[in-house]
Amino acid sequence: MNTGIRRVVCIAMIVTFAMTGVQLFARGQAQQPQPAVTADGAAITTLRVGALFPQTGGMAFGGSNALQGTQIAVELFNETNPYGITVELVSADAPDPATGTTGVRQLITQQNVDVVMGTFSSAVASATAPAAERLNVLYVETTAWAEGITRNTSNVLRTTISSGSLGAAAADFILTGLAQELGVAEADIRVALVFTDDEFGTSIADAAVGRIQSSRARLVVRESYPAATTSDLSSVLLRIQQERPHAVIHIAQVPDGVLFWRQAQQLGVDMPAVVGVGGGYGQVEFARPLGTNADGIFNVVPPTSGSINVDSLTPAAQNLLNELQTRVTQRGWTQGPYTDWGFMGAWVFLNEIVPNAASTSIADMMAAAANVRVDALDSITGFGFEFAGVNHENSGQNLRAIPVVQQWQGGQLRVTYPHELAVADFVNVPLPPWSQRTQAIGQ
Amino acid sequence: MRISDASPISPAGARIAAAAALVLLLCVPLVVRDIYRLDLGITVLIWASLATAWNISGGFAGGLSLGHAAFFGVGAYTSTLLFLRLGITPWIGIFAGAVLAAMLGALLGVITFRLKGPFFVLATLAFGIVVHIINVNWRGLTRGAAGLLLPFRGGPQNMLFLNLWAYWYTGLGLLVLTVGVSMGIERSRLGYYLVALREDEDAARSLGVRVVRSKVIAAAVSAALAACAGSVYAAFIQYIDPDSTTQFELSVQIALVAIVGGMGTTFGPVLGAAIVIPLGEMLRARLGGGAALVVYGFLLMVIVLTAPNGAIAGVRLLVRRLRRLIDSRRKADA
Amino acid sequence: MQLVLQIVANGLLIGGLYALLAVGLTLIFGVLRVVNFAHAEFMMLGMYGAYWLWSIYGLDPYVSVFLITPVVFLLGVAVDRLVVQRSIGKPDVTVVFATLGLSILLQNAALTLWRADIRSVSTFATGSVFVVGGVRLSVAMTVSFAAALLFALGLWFFLTRTMYGKAIQAVAQNRRAAALMGIDVKRVYLFTYSVAVAAAGAMGVLVAPIFTIFPRVGQTHIVTIFVIVVLGGLGSVPGAVVAALLVGIIRAGAGFLIGTAWGELAYFAVFLLVLIVRPQGFFGRRGAEVYGG
For C246-261, how does the pLDDT look when each residue is reduced to its tens digit (9 = 90+)? 999 988 888 898 888 8
> Do B24 and A15 make contact, defined as CB atoms within 8 angstroms?
yes
Mutate to test the interface with A, among C47, C122, C262 (most CBs of A within 10 A): C122
Domain-embedded: residue A135? yes
Count of B-C CB contacts under 8 Å: 139
Q: How far apart are CA A225 and CA A245, in angstroms?
A: 19
Q: Which of A18, A55, A105 sits opposite B39 (nearest CB)?
A: A105
Cα distances (Å, whole numbers) of residue A339 to A156, A299, C99: 20, 18, 36
- CA A267 – CA A265 distance, rounded (Å): 5
* Helix (H) or strand (E) segment spanning residue A135: none
To the nearest whole angstrom, how far is the Cα of C270 from the nearest Cα of chain B?
10
CB-facing half-sphere around the CA of A395: CA atoms within 13 A: 16
Residues A237 and A216 in one domain: yes
Residues A183 and A274 in one domain: yes
Same domain flag for A217 and A294? yes
The reported pLDDT for the residue numbered B15 is: 75
- Integer Cα distance of A404 and A419 in angstroms: 10
Closest-CA residue of chain A to C139: A266
Angle between helices A199-213 and A122-134 (to 10 degrees): 100
**CB burial class (10 A; 0-12, 13-18, 19+) of residue B166?**
middle
Task: Express each pLDDT in B290-322 by its tens digit.
Answer: 788 888 889 889 988 988 888 888 888 888 888
- CB of C163 within 8 Å of any CB in chain B? no
Nearest Cα to Cα of residue A119 among A154, A153, A156: A156
Beta partners for residue A88, in sequence order: A48
- Answer yes or no: are the C-beta atoms of C247 and C231 closer than 8 Å: yes
Count structural domains, chain A.
2
Domain co-membership, A276 together with A358? no
Q: What is the mean pLDDT for each group of 10 consecutive residues in chain A (443 residues)?
A: 47 46 41 40 80 85 93 94 90 87 87 93 90 91 89 90 90 93 92 91 91 94 88 92 95 93 92 91 90 93 83 91 94 91 95 92 93 92 90 87 91 85 89 78 38
Q: Which of B147, B238, B289 sits opposite A93 (nearest CB)?
A: B289
Q: Which chains touch A (3 or more CB pairs under 8 A)?
A: B, C
- Dihedral sign of CA atoms C39, C41, C43, C46 in order: negative
Determine, yes or no, domain membership for A31.
no
Q: Are A350 and A87 in contact (CB under 8 A)?
A: yes
Which of B54-78 are b and which e, b meaning 16 or more Cβ less than 10 Å from the residue's Cβ? Answer: bbbbbbbbbbbbbbbbbbbbbbbbb
- Chain centre distance of CA A257: 17
Evaluate whether B61 touches B218 at the Cβ level (below 8 Å). Answer: yes
How much is the average pLDDT of B122-143? Answer: 90
Q: How far is CA B300 from CA B253, B305, C97, in A?
A: 10, 8, 7
Three-state DSSP at C288 gives coil
Is residue B221 within a helix (H) or strand (E), and if so which, with residue range? helix B211-237
Q: By C-alpha distance, which of B146, B270, B289 is closest to A95?
A: B289
Are A325 and A233 members of one domain? no
CA angle C289, A229, C212 (to 5 degrees): 125
d(CA A277, CA A406): 10
Which positions of chain C have pLDDT values less than 50? 287, 289-293
Same domain for A177 and A286, yes or no, is: yes
Q: Any idea what the Cα angle at residue B133 is, between residues B131 and B134, rounded to 5°?
A: 65
Predicted pLDDT of residue B8: 60
Over the stretch B138-187, which tens digit does the pLDDT of each residue have? 888 998 888 888 877 777 888 888 778 889 999 999 999 999 999 999 88
Cβ-based contacts of A19 with chain B (< 8 Å): 24
Residue finishing a domain among A339, A363, A378 = A378
CA distance C184 to C168: 10
Q: Is there a contact between B313 and A84 (Cβ–Cβ < 8 Å)?
A: no
Q: Please say whether the beta carbons of B51 and B269 come within 8 A.
A: yes
**Could you tell me if B54 lies within 8 Å of chain C, comparing CB atoms?**
no
Residue pair B286/B191 in contact (Cβ under 8 Å)? The answer is no
Q: Tell me which residue in A99, A148, A197 faces B149 most closely, judged by beta carbons.
A: A148
pLDDT score, position A432: 93
- CATH number of the domain within which A277 lies: 3.40.50.2300
pLDDT in tens, B197-245: 888 888 888 887 788 888 899 999 999 999 999 999 999 988 898 988 9
Strands A138-141 and A115-118: parallel
What Rg value do the Cα atoms of chain A yield, rounded? 25
* φ, ψ of residue B171 in degrees (nearest 5): -60, -40
- Domain membership flag for residue A6: no
Same domain assignment for residues A154 and A200: no
Query: So what's the pLDDT on residue A23?
Result: 41
Of B332, A288, B293, B226, nearest to C126 by C-alpha is A288
Return d(Cα B87, Cα A283) in angstroms, integer.
44
| Whether A74 and A149 share a structural domain | yes
Calculate the alpha carbon distances from B280 to A100, A257, B50, B233, C255 in Å: 14, 33, 17, 18, 39
Evaluate whether residue A424 is within a structural domain: yes
A residues 77-96 closer than 8 Å to B (CB): 92-93, 95-96
Rounded to whole angstroms, the Cα distance separating C155 from C142 reads 20
Q: For residues C37 and A20, give the distance between their C-alpha atoms in angstroms, rounded to a whole number.
A: 38
Asked if the structure places residue A385 within a domain, the reply is no
pLDDT in tens, B58-72: 888 888 899 999 999
Dihedral (C-alpha) C112, C113, C116, C119: value to the nearest 10 degrees?
A: -170
Q: Which helix (H) or strand (E) holds A420?
A: none
Contacting C residues, span 242-261, partner chain B, CB-CB under 8 Å: 261
pLDDT of residue A28: 39
Q: Do C97 and B114 touch (CB under 8 A)?
A: no
Residue type, A129: A
A131 located within any domain = yes
Of A58, A197, A291, the CB nearest to C261: A197
Domain assignment of residue A331, given as a range = 46-161+312-378
A382 within 8 A of A399, measured Cβ to Cβ: no
Quick count: other Cβ atoms within 10 Å of Cβ A46?
13
ipTM value: 0.90
Domain boundaries, chain C: 24-217
Instruction: Report the C-alpha dihedral over residues C257, C262, C268, C272, rounded to 10 degrees.
Output: -100
C-alpha to C-alpha distance for A355 and A335, rounded to whole angstroms = 28
Tell me: do A288 and A420 sit in the same domain.
yes
Both A224 and A200 in one domain: the answer is yes
In a domain, A387, yes or no: no
> In this structure, are residues A153 and A170 in contact, taking their beta carbons and an 8 Å threshold?
no
Residues A50 and A174 in one domain: no
Q: Is the dihedral of CA B260, B265, B270, B274 positive or negative?
A: negative
* Min Cα–Cα distance to chain A from C135, Å: 8
Kind plus residue range of the DSSP H or E element containing A137: none
Per the prediction, chain B carries an average pLDDT of: 87
Are A241 and A335 members of one domain?
A: no
The predicted pLDDT at position B179 comes to: 94
CB atoms within 10 A of CB B193: 24
- A233 — contact with chain C (CB < 8 Å)? yes
**Of the candidates B28, B96, B63, the residue with the CA atom closest to the CA atom of residue B234:** B96
- DSSP structural state of residue A34: P
User: Given CB atoms, is C220 within the 8 Å cutoff of chain A?
Assistant: yes
Question: Does residue A421 belong to any structural domain of this protein?
Answer: yes
Residue A441 confidence (pLDDT): 41
